[in-house]
Amino acid sequence: MSSRHLPLSRRGVLLAGAAAGAALALAALPAHATARPFGRYGSPEHRRTPRTLYVDPHGRGDFSTVQAAVTAATGSGWTLVLAPGVYRETVAVDTTRTEATWIGATENPRDVVIVYDNAAGTPKPGGGTHGTTGSATTTVQADGFTARWITFANDWLRADHPDSTGTQAVALKVQGDRSAFHHCRFLGHQDTLYADSTALGVFARQYFAHCYVEGDVDFVFGRATAVYEGCHFRTLDRTDLAAAPYGFVLAPSTANANPYGYLVSRSRISSAAPDAAYKLARPWVPSSDTTARPSLVVRDSWLGPGIDAVAPYTNMSDAFPWQSQRFAEYRNSGPGAAITVPGNRPQLTAEQAGSATRETFLGDWTPWKEC
């Protein structure tokens, strides 16, 4: 079997406990998931609504690939119910397909996996390379998108491509306003979750509730106004580096005019790497917007020993020092949150924290009521 089908053994959601080097596999599914692939969400014979489509890689639905269903679902308000399986494909939802909902039928994100293995340096069939944006397994540009109980993954591995310099490999790039992800998983290494917007002047709001994200370099990044609530971030070990830092959990690129960037609340950060091997964040000021002023608040969260408590922030470019950006914390706990050098850990006051909430960041949109 070629290396493009060999994910990391630590990705339990893909390997289901198999030994290192085993082929991509699903966890053993309960009997009802086999007998009723769409669970309580109907079937093509008993369609939940006229705008519900059923996807099953084994041919029991309307379509066998997610992209085929997306292509058929023109306009607004479609629901895709995904049967358990591994969907090895790239998927793109353009701006015209608004108010879409994707549901993992078993209500367990380990059972429904959308995965591919493009990286920024991967050659495109017509010439050139994909670049970071083009590497995404799934790209969502439409407003009003909601996903529940789905794993979005990119299993491109540095070890398989030792000569590649374009190692960014995005699992999901989401750009639409009012984009919500409930109980989803995002797996990759560098640039796993790209929470962005469609243009510099567009302030897209996004909400991630009870999600799991893993990676190493800048694995949650972009310019969206994004709230991560009750999420689990996990930093991966690396054998290709001799010394820390191994990577950075968050890299917002918030536009200067946007008062709200990333908010991490009631979440936790664990690590498979040595203690203090990771930075909590670094600001990303991209060449496409050198006026960006990245914004990040991490509050009421548990930071494990993998985070460097002495110097949790660093620069991506010395021309844009992190101290000049909008980084702050509030009431965090755990060994990675210990304040040993106060100047390296800016803290919100209680009054300031009163405005660092999901309600303030997301305005009149209340996706947590849909959890």
What DSSP state is assigned to residue 317? -
User: Of 56, 62, 143, 218, which residue is the catalytic one?
Assistant: 218
Closest listed residue to residue 176, CA positions, set 197, 151, 149 = 197
Residue 191 is among the residues annotated as catalytic for this protein: yes
How far apart are the C-alpha atoms of 13 and 110, rounded to whole Å? 5
CB 187 within 8 A of CB 14: yes
Q: Is the peptide bond before 245 cis (omega within 30 degrees of 0)?
A: yes
Which residues have CB under 8 Å from 92's CB, separation 6+? Answer: 67, 70, 138, 139, 141
Residue type for position 182: H
In the chain, the amino acid numbered 10 is R
Calpha distance 344→348 (Å, rounded): 13
What distance in Å separates the CA atoms of residue 346 and residue 262, rounded to the nearest whole number? Answer: 16
**What tokens does 217 get?**
């370099």
DSSP 26: P
Which among 216, 183, 217, 177 is positioned nearest to 199, based on CA atoms?
Answer: 177
Q: Compute, in degrees rounded to 10, the torsion defined by CA atoms 204, 205, 207, 213.
A: 30
Per annotation, catalytic residue among 56, 62, 191, 196: 191
Report, as residue numbers or ranges, the catalytic residues: 191, 218
